[in-house]
Every structure is written in structure tokens, then in C-alpha cells.
């Protein structure tokens, strides 16, 4: 897992815990200081690798399947 994947999974967990529901792609982009296109690529890659699940028909439906190891 590269550092960006690790940061994405941590951000999803942290923002979900803070707000009570998963973040939007825009919220993730702001948090990680990248564009929404890059967030989409990161999400797709983590779904492919089995680290994240997502329902493509719904917004804010990310769920971390494999927790990143602490820094």
C-alpha cells in the first residue's frame, strides 16, 4: 500500500468517525489536498485491491475493509 492509499483510508475512517457518515469525494479532496479526479482514482484502486467497498449507486457509501496500519 502506498502512502496516498494509506492517507485515503485513514481520512475516510477519521471523517466518518467525526461526522457519523462517510465523507464526500470533495471532502476527501480537500482533506488530502488533491483533486476529485485523483480521489476517484484512489478509491477505484483501493476497491480493486479489496481495501475499500463502495456502492456506485449511492453517494457517501465508502467502507474500509482492511484497516491501514498505524503510522
Is 9 within the bounds of a domain? yes
| Helix ranges, the chain (H) | 3-19, 25-32, 36-48
Residues linked to residue 62 through DSSP beta bridges, in sequence order: 54
Q: How many domains does the chain have?
A: 1
33 burial via Cβ count (<10 Å: 0-12, 13-18, 19+): exposed
- Return the SS3 of 7: helix
* 1 vs 15 pLDDT, higher one: 15
Residue 10 forms part of a structural domain: yes
Q: What is d(CA 9, CA 5) in angstroms, rounded to the nearest whole number?
A: 6
**13-67 pLDDT, tens digit each:** 999 999 999 999 999 999 999 999 999 999 999 999 999 998 888 888 888 997 7
Range of the domain at 19: 3-64
What pLDDT shows up at residue 31?
97
The yes-or-no verdict on residue 71 having pLDDT over 60 is no
Amino acid at each position: 500500500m502506498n502512502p496516498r492509499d494509506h492517507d485515503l483510508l485513514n481520512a475516510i475512517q477519521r471523517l466518518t468517525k467525526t461526522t457519523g457518515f462517510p465523507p464526500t469525494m470533495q471532502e476527501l479532496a480537500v482533506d488530502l489536498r488533491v483533486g476529485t479526479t485523483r480521489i476517484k482514482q484512489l478509491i477505484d484502486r483501493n476497491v480493486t485491491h479489496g481495501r475499500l467497498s463502495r456502492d456506485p449507486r449511492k453517494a457517501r457509501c465508502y467502507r474500509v475493509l482492511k484497516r491501514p496500519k498505524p503510522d
